[in-house]
Structure 1
Amino acid sequence: MPSDNIAPAGPEPAGRRRALRAIAIFEAAKGLAALAAGVGLLQLLHHDIHRLAVALLWRFHLDPALPYPTLLLHYADLLSAIDLRTLAPVALAYISVRFVEAWGLWKEKTWAEWLGALSGALYIPLEVAHLAHRPGAINAGVLLVNVVVVGFLAFQLWMRRAAKAVNKV
């Protein structure tokens, strides 16, 4: 029975391994960022977020009528309206998926390549719509990185399938 780790033809194994590990580190970093954001949000559970935002504005002598301070107050009000207890399980699931995917990619598991390609592909239409709505270098960069990662993982899966077909003959 073929192993889960059949090396596909194509890029040299060391280059392939480096690329998979770079993607694994990227996925782990996304999981850590989500974990930090989640912990930060949980710290705000029992606070009046709008009042904290106003205090922050006064601390830095910012006029709440100016555009950026107004934006801060707007998002503070939006954050106050979210039930963080409902959001917590969703955030935990997202964080878990990112860490599991990172581990699997680090270990060069086929299922992790599938998970990475499929989960990354789900974001591409959203990123395209976001880029169309708000064109900019950062949004274009995020889309480009995601397309490259999904493309690389899909190529690896395609090459693995071709290698299995050759081994069956």
Structure 2
Amino acid sequence: MTGTPPYNPDPHAHPGLAAIALLEAGKALAAFLAAAGLEVSGPAPLRTVINTVILRLGGDPEHGSFSSLLGQITPDTVHLAATVLAAYGLLRAVEAWGLWRAHAWASWLGCISAALYLPLDLYAIVKHPGWASWLLLAVNVLVVWVLARDIRKRHLD
């Protein structure tokens, strides 16, 4: 009997899926920690960090658009940002669980979401060429390739 063996839904049979699941779980954890950090610290430390960045870039935090940006950092906007981060973390956690369990929908979700980052990765290379930008592009291309290959295998079997 020749041909390819039937598709195996065991995530451990597909180390690429397991590796991407762990990557997504790490993103989820980082997003949850960032959301919690925003909620715990509130707007004052965030204003201080942004003020420091503005000064290091040679800007004036007291005038112009930078002053407007600092004025937008309120308890309400911090709560909104924390909510968005928590929602992002939840999406990544669900994707990680689905990939770990080798669900087809998780491969689709991961492939589409990673592909959406590719234009931004290319823009980053143009604006900030360096090994970090290239590494990020390479990781995202690899994720798209592995997940697209998984989707294709499922379609053929």
Q: Is the 8 A contact 2:36 2:82 kept in 1?
A: no
Q: Is the 8 A contact 2:11 2:17 kept in 1?
A: no
1:110 aligned to which of 104, 114, 117: 104
TM-aligned CA distance change 1:152 to 1:79, over 3 Å: farther
Q: Give runs of aligned pairs for residues 32-111 of structure 1, distance below 5 A.
A: 32-47=29-44, 49-51=46-48, 70-71=56-57, 81-82=72-73, 83-111=77-105
Distance 2:11 2:42 in 1: 46
Computing the radius of gyration over CA atoms, which structure comes out larger, 1 or 2?
Answer: 1
Q: What TM-score do you get using the length of structure 2 for normalisation?
A: 0.75
TM-aligned CA distance change 1:104 to 1:49, over 3 Å: closer
Does the residue aligned with 1:7 lie in a helix, a strand or coil? Answer: coil
2:23 aligned with 1:22: no
Does the residue aligned with 1:47 lie in a helix, a strand or coil? Answer: helix
Distance 2:24 2:92 in 1: 6
Of residues 22-31 and 82-91 in structure 1, the stretch that sits farther from structure 2 once superposed is: 82-91
Distance 1:14 1:108 in 2: 5
The size of the alignment, in residue pairs, is: 142
Structure 2 match to 1:128: 122
Structure 2 match to 1:7: 7
Please report the RMSD computed on the Cα atoms of aligned residues, expressed in angstroms.
Answer: 3.1
TM-aligned CA distance change 1:80 to 1:143, over 3 Å: farther
TM-aligned CA distance change 1:85 to 1:154, over 3 Å: same
Query: Structure 1 unaligned runs (5+)?
Result: 1-5, 55-63, 164-169
Structure 2 match to 1:59: none
Distance 2:12 2:100 in 1: 13
**Post-superposition offset of 1:18:** 1.6
**Post-superposition offset of 1:44:** 2.5
Q: What TM-score do you get using the length of structure 1 for normalisation?
A: 0.70
Identity %: 36
2:110 aligned with 1:119: no
1:140 aligned to which of 134, 140, 151: 134
Q: Is the 8 A contact 1:49 1:80 kept in 2?
A: no
Q: Is the 8 A contact 2:12 2:18 kept in 1?
A: no
